[in-house]
Chain A
């Protein structure tokens, strides 16, 4: 009798493991691939913007298309740190500051204008893009059932940025 139950248990366990665990782990690995894909898209976008000192609607749409192809509900944050210089009367020297702009200011200019308008950056500005998923991936959902816990929604996370500019043109 014990042997029958043991065998039954083992079969159920094997079926569960073969299908469920395997799919779960494959889904998690797919997340790794998606993460890599998103990393590429973000890196390309930021490097392009840094070297050309502008963000165009086409560039943004291209990045967004790639990200949403990897995992549809993702949040894309863009931070533009516009540098400026002010005199420092106390020391007689100058001080550097940054004023920050987000995608709320940037995207309306490049997407809603209906024309090929670019958002201009200047040398010394800082550009950063942060992407994360707003809903759990398939791997997270399956894993959350296994661990009987709530799925973590921020498993795909990319953050990449850098300073703008390399040289000047008259």
Chain B
């Protein structure tokens, strides 16, 4: 054979081998990019969802009413449609079908929004007949996989349901414990006479109360050693007494209960979403992505929204690649600012700043402020009142070690600003501590 023949043979073999590999890599790359796009869109939607939270109710629950939760969900779908560039378009109606559940995590529990538009045969309710007859119209998902999934724009609003509050509760022997996102917990128990009580507070507070109850003979000391069922390893085993006495164990147990219960709930609704797909021979399966421990820990510090989305599967050769994203929107700490005058010029400072170059000498530790309250600095009654008005603020500051500014006269700074814009409008320039908070 001639050299050209060899080259032709080689080229054919080479192209056959490499094209398969190249195609696979390109598909993998494409699915990764699409995953990132989905994750970004979900993150933005979750952020907007969290923005509907009522921050005045941060201690009790930021979505207290059904209306507020519906509003949060509407914000989620509206933003998602905007991000997917299908707002006010036919495709907008099908967005929710790729989202098995949206979870609103509040301080006192969580709410799950799930797709209830589908009946047990996988049909979608699309409203009443246009001819005015009073019977419902349903459309089969199986008949419409190639085109519009829902013909009625309002169907998703009617079909998305938000569950009542789900609480994070676990049983430890005779004690039922309800956890919250903050450091409190509620305990339901019965005394020796069979009467049921509910006590709520921090573990430290409850520890004292239960010690008192044991002393008074209302409960038996050994019952405090009751452990939660189905905990087979030493790491996960936890008794009620440990919840009260060991803060590390309390934190781990709280995270375990919260994470496991949310996880189970989301998996249930993902499976629920899968059910109709299987019944209608749609080759499409939703799977719960693995969420790493630190991600959960990050998500569960403040009220948040978690959404799971799985787009249309991409075909890679004979296989399908799942395109999914799971994201959460959180509350970011707001910074407070105060204004001082230095050399005839106004400066604004970050209240949380640990080291302020201009105002360090006038800052005192929170413990000293507490001493002020005790009258050790000889403050006048009106200053006491000012401090009392800020008492909650000081308590928060004490736990985080943040300094509280005190003016030259020893008074706490009374006017706090929520943003740098407000300070600048007062004619103040930024101190270094306000620009960079480190």
Show the binding face of A for B, using Cβ within 8 Å: 3, 6-7, 9-11, 13-14, 17-18, 21-22, 25-26, 29, 32-33, 36, 39-40, 43, 47-48, 51-53, 58, 80, 82-87, 94, 99, 101, 109, 119-123, 164-170
Choose from B2, B7, B51, B437 the contact partner of A167 (Cβ within 8 Å): B51
* Ranked 5 nearest A-B pairs via Cβ: A10-B6, A166-B47, A168-B334, A10-B3, A169-B331
Distance in Å from the Cβ of B430 to the closest Cβ of chain A?
A: 4
- Is there contact, CB below 8 Å, between A167 and B329? yes
Whether B332 contacts A85 by the Cβ 8 Å rule is no
Bound Cα distance from A168 to B55, whole angstroms: 8
On chain B, the residues within 8 Å of A29 by CB distance are 21-22, 25
- Chain A CB within 10 Å — which of B2, B56, B331, B421 has the most? B331
Q: Which residues in A have their C-beta under 8 angstroms from that of B50?
A: 166-167
Contact partner, A165, options B2, B40, B332, B427, Cβ 8 Å: B332
Contacts of B48 in A (CB 8 A): 166
CB < 8 Å neighbour of A169 from B2, B328, B332, B428: B332
Q: Could you say which residues of chain B place their CB within 8 Å of the CB of A22?
A: 14, 17-18
Which residues of B, 7-54, contact A by the 8 Å Cβ criterion? 7, 10, 14, 17-18, 21-22, 25, 28-29, 32-33, 36, 39-40, 43, 47-48, 50-51, 53
Q: A32-B25, A94-B424 are in contact. List 4 more A-B contacts (CB 8 A).
A: A53-B333, A58-B294, A119-B438, A167-B50
List residues of B (286-311) whose CB comes within 8 Å of A's CBs. Answer: 294, 298, 302
Instruction: Give bound CA distance, A168 to B47, whole Å.
Output: 11
Closest B residue, CB atoms, query A109: B438
Q: Would you list which residues of chain B between 211 and 233 have a CB under 8 Å from chain A?
A: none
- Kindly list chain B residues whose C-beta atoms are within 8 Å of the C-beta of A85: 420-421, 423-424, 430
Q: How far is the CB of B261 from chain A (nearest CB, A)?
A: 23
Q: Enumerate chain B interface residues (CB-CB to A < 8 A).
A: 1-3, 5-7, 10, 14, 17-18, 21-22, 25, 28-29, 32-33, 36, 39-40, 43, 47-48, 50-51, 53, 55-56, 58, 294, 298, 302, 328-335, 418, 420-421, 423-425, 427-430, 434-438
19 contacts between A and B (CB under 8 A): A3-B2, A10-B6, A14-B6, A14-B7, A18-B10, A22-B14, A25-B18, A36-B33, A39-B36, A47-B39, A85-B421, A85-B424, A85-B430, A86-B430, A167-B51, A167-B53, A168-B332, A169-B302, A169-B334
- A32-B47 CB under 8 A given contacts A164-B332, A169-B302: no
A-B contact count (CB 8 A): 137
- Decide: A36 and B51 in contact? CB cutoff 8 A: no
Complex CA–CA separation, A87 to B348 (angstroms): 11
A18 to B6, CA, bound (A): 12
What's the minimum C-beta distance from B8 to chain A, rounded to whole angstroms?
A: 10
CA A109 to CA B438, docked complex, whole Å: 8
CB neighbours of B423 from chain A (8 A)? 85
Residues of A within 8 A of B17 (CB): 22
Closest to A10 in B: B6
Q: Which residues of B contact A10 (CB under 8 A)?
A: 1-3, 5-7
* With known contacts A32-B25, A82-B435, A87–B428 Cβ distance under 8 A: yes
Q: Quick one: which of B50, B55, B333, B427 has the most chain A CB within 10 A?
A: B333
Contacts of B7 in A (CB 8 A): 10, 13-14
Nearest-neighbour CB distance to chain B for A104, whole angstroms, equals 13
Given contacts A87-B428, A94-B421, A167-B53, contact A13 B6 (CB under 8 A): yes
Contact: A51 with B427, CB < 8 Å? no
Task: Please determine whether A7 and B330 come into contact, CB atoms closer than 8 angstroms.
Answer: no
Contact A51 B6 (CB under 8 A): no
Specify the chain B residue showing the minimal Cβ separation from A95: B424
